[in-house]
Amino acid sequence: MIASPTMIDAQSLIPTEYPHIVLGQDNVPLIAGTTMKVVELVIAQQTYGWTPEEIQINHRHLNMGQIYAALAYYWDHREALDADIQRREAYVAQLEQQAEESPFVARLKAQGLLP
């Protein structure tokens, strides 16, 4: 299951050789001082085609050092992080298949506004 922590125990974080990157629970790489996972930043970059500067514009709580450190960590650990991204995408697809149609979508279909 994919969990997004709301609070991270600072004593449980493991430093890495990358500035601004720590390993959290289950050795998940996080941007230090935030709850943002490296894969979340990478997914945003891949989805929107953002440059590091555009990532910073859209995630103002991150500084450029944190962004470049996260991208460097990704490229040095690409195989493992790509596998994590694929696992996350498969989990989302599974949830989408299990989800029932929302009442809002049903109303739009009834009104002929959705196919």
Entry pTM: 0.76
Query: What is the reported pLDDT for 4?
Result: 47
Are 30 and 23 within 8 A, CB to CB?
yes
Interval 76-101: pLDDT, tens: 999 999 999 999 999 999 998 999 89
**One-letter amino acid for residue 106 of the chain:** A
CA neighbor of 21 nearest in space, from 11, 7, 33, 4:
33
Q: Distance (Å, rounded) from C-alpha 81 to C-alpha 37?
A: 11
